[in-house]
Amino acid sequence: MLIPFLIPFVIALFLAINMGGSGTAPAFSAAYGANIIKKAAVPGLFGIMVFLGAIIGGKETAKTVGKGLLDEQYMTFTVVSVILGSVALALLIANLFGIPQSTSQATVMAVVAPAIYFDAINTRKLLLEIVPTWFIMPVIAFFLSLFIGKYIYKPIRKKGYTISKQLNENYLLKGLIILMSMYVAFSIGTNNVANAAGPIAAMSCNELNVTSTHFLHVLILATLIVAPSFGIGSSIFGKKILQNTGKEIVLFGRIEAVIIAFISATLLLLASVLKGIPTSLVQLNVASIIGIGVAKLGFKNIFRKTEVNKFFIMWVIAPIIAFVISYLFIWLADFWDVVYL
């Protein structure tokens, strides 16, 4: 029993490493784009804050991923291995292209595949709560940053306050930007760690016959195993993704960096704590970046940038890849009669 029990944990660690790479961009691209933090300092800060976010505020999202879409009785060694492996492969492809990807959307689609196969999907949770949030949240992020950029930041900028060397080199402003980046990483912890820890906790409770009343205890143990790997992933994949989002989409001002970080992190934190909805911080962050970019450059100029177009394409492809891989391997597992190993 030990070997099959360890396999999902190994895959979960691999997934967490990939999520760490993808999550680095929304956490620290604003600070990096504003030339306030060096790449070498990012993984450590990122890993610590992700861990704290997962322990403090990650319970509801983990419950959604672990047993909110697919009943935990189906969370066997095989099924969880398929789910986590499918997400990891989809995110690995995105990371190799240097595109920050939604781990939450890929994970949800990987869980939905066996849920559909076993005709056990919680359609109410998926269609009435999760999917609408995916569409609504980035739109809110975009318009909030566009509004602030156009009607608050831009008039201040025209008066010359934002280009004041005294203001931009102020250590309080620099500290605020770093604090906002840490806040984003904390929010990632409340949401994205659940993508790996939730299925692992549900599987452990199921296979070890642990009652649901102890789910939180098992979840904490799973989080303690999974969360540190986010920092490792940031070290491996973070450099290229930071370059894409921090330097190639739009040149940030330091006040803009605070706006981007605050909007995206706050929206994700609300989704995590209030409803336990797995939501894409990557998309919230890029939507905020684009909103600021449109306020500065206009719609045509910002959407002509190739990186933005590439982001949208990969956002569609990666969750589909995760779903297809997950469904295929669940079918094969059922064909070989190993689903309940």
Grade residue 251 by pLDDT with cuts at 50, 70 and 90. Answer: low
Among the residue ranges 29-43, 57-71, 79-93, 104-118, the one predicted with the least confidence is: 29-43
Mean pLDDT of the chain: 85
Residue 296 has pLDDT above 60, yes or no: yes
Is the model more confident about 172 or about 325?
325
List residues bridging with 70 in a β-sheet: 121
Is the model more confident about 166 or about 68?
68
Average pLDDT value for residue range 136-165: 83
Candidate ranges 22-31, 214-223, 236-245; pick with highest mean pLDDT: 214-223
Task: Locate the DSSP E strands across 102-260.
Answer: none
Give 63-107 as a DSSP string: HIIIIISB-GGG--HHHHHHHHHHHHHHHHHHHHTT----HHHHH
Sign for the CA dihedral angle at 203, 209, 215, 218 comes to negative
Average pLDDT value for residue range 79-105: 82
The H or E element that residue 264 is part of is helix 254-270
Grade residue 250 by pLDDT with cuts at 50, 70 and 90. Answer: very low
Is the model more confident about 307 or about 12?
12
The pLDDT assigned to 257 comes to: 77
The pLDDT assigned to 201 comes to: 92
Grade residue 249 by pLDDT with cuts at 50, 70 and 90. Answer: very low
Grade residue 122 by pLDDT with cuts at 50, 70 and 90. Answer: very high
Contacts with 62 (C-beta within 8 Å, 6 or more apart), sequence order: 193, 194, 197, 198, 201, 219, 223, 276
Among 245, 318, 242, 277, residue whose Cα is nearest residue 88: 318
Amino acid letter at 107? T
Rounded to the nearest 10 degrees, how much is the dihedral formed by the CA atoms of 166, 172, 173, 175? 140
> What is the CB-side half-sphere exposure of residue 60 using CA atoms within 13 A?
14
Rounded Cα distance, 24 and 285, in Å: 11
SS3 assignment, position 340: coil
Rounded Cα distance, 83 and 113, in Å: 8
Report the predicted TM-score, pTM, of the whole model to 2 decimal places: 0.88
The pLDDT assigned to 310 comes to: 66
Rounded Cα distance, 10 and 19, in Å: 14
Average pLDDT value for residue range 109-134: 95
Average pLDDT value for residue range 161-190: 82
Whether the CB-CB separation of 34 and 254 falls below 8 Å is answered with: yes
